């Protein structure tokens, strides 16, 4: 068995691609347009997964955009979050903040942080290789909203 992808629906394709690619840093691997079904599938991969994603079409995040956009997107209680390992939790969070992304749960402990996509999808950021020593301003930064 091999993990292939996680699919999430998006309500605004341009805004979602700005977040997932320009701000968060994922890379589009392929796109499929379905005229008859009136939807688009866009597959994204993290930079360290890009070679594997291009070769195997996995592991990826699949964004599904329905062209007519009349559906209200909600997440159920069974949904949790997506998780990505990062090389430097502090640098990643600072880069995201510099691009306008709210850090909902700052990396107080040098290990974990949470952000949300424009469609309210929780994303956990985990420090690669174990926690970094706590440092300011992160250690005392307040949580914002939910995650």
pLDDT of the chain, 147 residues: tens digit per residue: 788 999 999 999 999 999 999 999 999 999 999 999 999 999 999 999 999 999 999 999 999 999 997 777 777 766 789 999 999 999 999 999 999 999 999 999 999 999 999 999 999 999 999 999 999 999 999 999 988
* Longest CA span, the chain: 53
Q: What is the pLDDT of residue 79?
A: 79
Evaluate the omega torsion of the peptide bond into residue 59 and state whether it is cis, within 30 degrees of 0: yes
Backbone angles phi, psi at 53, to 5 degrees: -65, -40
Which two structure tokens, joined as six digits, stand for 77? 């209680």
Q: What is the pLDDT of residue 59?
A: 96
Q: How crowded is the C-beta side of 74, counted as CA atoms within 13 Å?
A: 4
3-state secondary structure of 47: helix
Q: What is the pLDDT of residue 73?
A: 77
Provide the annotated active-site residues: 124
Q: What is the pLDDT of residue 77?
A: 67
For residue 22, give the nearest of 96, 130, 77, 91 by alpha carbon.
Answer: 96
Integer Cα distance of 103 and 118 in angstroms? 13
Q: Is the dihedral of CA 95, 111, 146, 5 positive or negative?
A: positive
């Amino acid at each position: 068995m091999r993990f292939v992808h996680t699919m999430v629906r998006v309500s605004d394709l341009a805004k979602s691609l700005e977040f997932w690619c320009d701000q968060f840093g994922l890379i589009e691997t392929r796109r499929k347009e379905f005229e008859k079904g009136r939807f688009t599938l866009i597959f994204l991969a993290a930079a360290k997964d890009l070679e594997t994603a291009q070769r195997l079409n996995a592991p990826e995040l699949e964004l599904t955009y329905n062209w007519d956009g009349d559906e209200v997107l909600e997440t159920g209680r069974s949904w949790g979050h997506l998780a990505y390992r990062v090389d430097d939790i502090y640098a990643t969070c600072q880069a995201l903040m510099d691009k306008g992304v709210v850090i909902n749960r700052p990396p107080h402990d040098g290990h974990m942080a949470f952000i949300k996509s424009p469609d309210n999808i929780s994303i956990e950021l985990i420090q690669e290789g174990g926690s970094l020593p706590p440092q300011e301003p992160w250690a005392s930064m307040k949580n914002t909203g939910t995650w």
